[in-house]
Each structure stands twice: as C-alpha cells, then as structure tokens.
Amino acid sequence: MNKFIKYFILLFSITFLFASCQDDDEKINVNTTETLTNTSPLSSLLLRVSQNPTSNDNVVDNSSCFSIQLPVTVIVNSQQIIVSEEADYQIVQDAIEAFSNDDDIVNFVYPITIKFQNFQTQVLQNANDLDDVLDNCGEDDDFDEIDCVSINYPIVINVYDSNNQLANTITITSNSGLFNFFDILDDNIYVAIVYPITVTNSAGQNVSINSNTELESFIDGSVDDCEDTSGNPNPPFENVLNNGSWHVSYFFDDQDETTDYNGYDFTFFANNTIEVIKNSVSSTGSWSTYVDSGLNKIELDFDNSNLEELEEDWIIIEYTETIIRLKHSSGGNGVTDHLTFTKN
C-alpha cells in the first residue's frame, strides 16, 4: 500500500479514537512539557531531520522541493554528464563554472524520477512536467534539511487527545514514517515521544536522549555541523539583519503566539536602532549582538510595551538571507521561547 495513504489511514484512526467515549479512569496525567503539537518547535526540527534530503542536488535541479533520483544524465554547455552518485554534483558545478558567457542551464535526459520531502516519487517525462512540478513547489523560503544527524529507530510515540487521554501508541521505524507522522498531524492531536531514545551525531557517535529539551538542544546544536550544500554561504548576520524589513513569522512561548505580532514590521538599522511600524504607527527599539559562552546572541529592546515578550537575549540558531531563527532559554524554569523573523 502507498505509504502516504497508510499515514492518512493512521491519522483517521487516531481521530476516530479521539471521538470515542473513554472512561474517566482512563485519563492520563501528561507532562505538558513533553507533549508536542504540529506547531511545536521540536516538531518542525524533527521534520527537517527525517525528511528526504532535497537540497544536496540543488546544483542540478535548483530546488529544495524535491530531489532527483540517481543515476541521471544531464547536459550542461553541450557536455553530457552521468550523475551516478552525490560526488558527481561537483562535475556538474565545474561544467557550469567553466564558461562565463553561457546560460548555465542544466538540461535533463528524460524520463527522470523525483522524490519529494515526504518520500513520494513521481516520474517526469519531459521538461514541461518538470516546469509543472516547480510551479506547484513555489519558492524555496525555508531552512533546508538537517541531514548530518539521525534518529535511531524504532521509536515509540504516545498519542493523546485534547483532554490528555491516551488514544494510541505508534511505533515509528523509519525517517519516512516519522516525517509523514508529523507532516499530517492534526491541530487537536497531542503526542509524546517515549524516552529514552538514541540519536547519532555528525561524528557518527550515538547519544542517549531523555527529554524534548535534550532532543531539541541536540538538533539545534547540530545545525552548524551540517554542511551548507547550496554553495552559497550566508553573509555576516548583521548584513542580513540590516537588509530590508522583517516580520514575526513564528513566536512560541509555551504555545504558539505568533498572531500576537501580526501587522508589525521591524527594520534593524546599522546604528543598532530598530523602527517598528504597525498600522502606520511607529515605535522604536534597539539591538546589539555579542558572543556569550561561545553562543552568538542578539539582544532586543523595544519602547512599545506590546513587544515586551520579545525583549530577550536571543541565541542565533541559524539564518538565511530571508529567515532568522532565534531562541531563548530561561535560567530559572528551563522554559525555551522561540522567535523567527522572515523578510517582508
């Protein structure tokens, strides 16, 4: 049976269980710090760890929406190249850079098979099929996969309803299973990973993980270890921050509170001041960056009291030219807040 269909059946089964009547003595007291929803920061990280890697071959397909299954034959500047393994991407890159007055277009010898982030495949017969897929993908505007670390399977996930009642227990045995589980997770479903689990770091070492906090910190700490496969390293953080205006695309403080910041536009100036505009009303703030215990941080302050929850010394986790991802861990209660800016 198609894996995608299987997970829709799984989701339907879980939803049906939620609708079923359950006795009061079946109610489970769940530790809410260990439950996840489809908007939890860790859920997004697990999607990136478990997805089919789609950015490694961007030199060939110029898209992180899907990957090209190998082997594939391409034509660059009238040179035919058989790409049979990832190391051959460099041959394609060299062919693109060989001339400065060409169009650098990579043409495929069809048919080709592509694989999406959810591991579904599609056979493309010609360039028109490829154009149709690219049109449906839209622009690449998010962070790439985190493929230098891995989850060691199987892992067990408990599924709860909104009343913290245990509805089901799922055993996940593969990356495709984990990705599709979180990818189609409904808004009203709460899940909890059964710890301990083991993960493998970028050095090939197995690490025991005992909580959501440990797992999130492990993945975040591995971001810098994963090589940038785009061939275009990020410019300095301050250059990105000072280029254009930004909005809050994600804010998580125990729960998703992104909508509290709808309509605010932030412009960060090189003189460490901030201009904030909402509904043509302007306010100001300040920013500064520094290194603390080896961590790159940005501190934000605002005159507008409506933005006081954003006033923290945020750790800079990762950024591109269009997205900045930050987090702040409180020293006392161990709560972690998450803040993401996206360029307007």
- Tell me the per-residue pLDDT of 139-153, one tens digit each, with 9 for 90 and over: 776 788 999 999 999
Least confident of 26-30, 215-219, 255-259: 26-30
Tell me which residue of 329, 323, 314 sits closest to 344, measured CA to CA. Answer: 323
- pLDDT tier at 324, thresholds 50, 70, 90: very high
Beta bridge partners of 318: 325
CB 42 within 8 A of CB 218: no
CB 10 within 8 A of CB 157: no
- pLDDT for position 141: 65
pTM (predicted TM-score): 0.84
Mean pLDDT of 216-229: 82
Angle between helices 41-50 and 175-183 (to 10 degrees): 140
- pLDDT for position 330: 74
The side-by-side arrangement of strands in the sheet containing 206-209 is 150-151, 197-200, 206-209
- pLDDT for position 227: 61
Q: What is the pLDDT of residues 229-251, one digit of tens each?
A: 444 567 899 999 999 999 999 99
Residue 23: burial class (beta carbons within 10 Å; 0-12, 13-18, 19+): exposed
- pLDDT for position 218: 96
Q: What is the pLDDT of residues 299-313, one digit of tens each?
A: 999 999 999 999 999
- pLDDT for position 28: 42
- pLDDT for position 33: 56
Cis peptide upstream of residue 111 (ω within 30 degrees of 0): yes
Mean pLDDT of 316-335: 85
Q: Is 184 helix (H, G, I), strand (E, B) or coil?
A: coil
Tell me how far apart the alpha carbons of residues 59 and 68 are, in angstroms, rounded to a whole number. Answer: 11
Instruction: Report the alpha-carbon angle 147-37-15, nearest 5.
Output: 115
What tokens were used for 78? 């009238």
Residue 47 has pLDDT above 90, yes or no: yes
Centroid of chain to Cα 272: 29
- pLDDT for position 243: 96
Q: What is the pLDDT of residues 112-131, one digit of tens each?
A: 999 999 999 999 999 999 99
Tell me how far apart the alpha carbons of residues 19 and 208 are, in angstroms, rounded to a whole number. Answer: 36
- DSSP H helical segments within 154-264, as ranges? 175-183, 212-222, 237-241
Least confident of 59-63, 257-261, 326-330: 326-330
Tell me how far apart the alpha carbons of residues 185 and 179 are, in angstroms, rounded to a whole number. Answer: 10
Mean pLDDT of 249-254: 93
Residue 191 has pLDDT above 90, yes or no: yes
State the amino acid at position 258 in one-letter form. T
- pLDDT for position 87: 95
The side-by-side arrangement of strands in the sheet containing 106-108 is 79-83, 72-76, 106-108
Tell me how far apart the alpha carbons of residues 133 and 112 are, in angstroms, rounded to a whole number. Answer: 13
Residues 6+ apart with CB under 8 A from 11: 184, 185, 186
Cis peptide upstream of residue 71 (ω within 30 degrees of 0): yes
Mean pLDDT of 193-216: 96
Centroid of chain to Cα 120: 18
- pLDDT tier at 187, thresholds 50, 70, 90: confident
Sign of CA dihedral 222, 201, 217, 174: positive
Residue 9 has pLDDT above 60, yes or no: no
Q: In what helix (H) or strand (E) does residue 157 lie, and over which residues does it extend?
A: strand 155-160
Tell me how far apart the alpha carbons of residues 279 and 302 are, in angstroms, rounded to a whole number. Answer: 17
- pLDDT for position 71: 97
Tell me how far apart the alpha carbons of residues 132 and 307 are, in angstroms, rounded to a whole number. Answer: 42
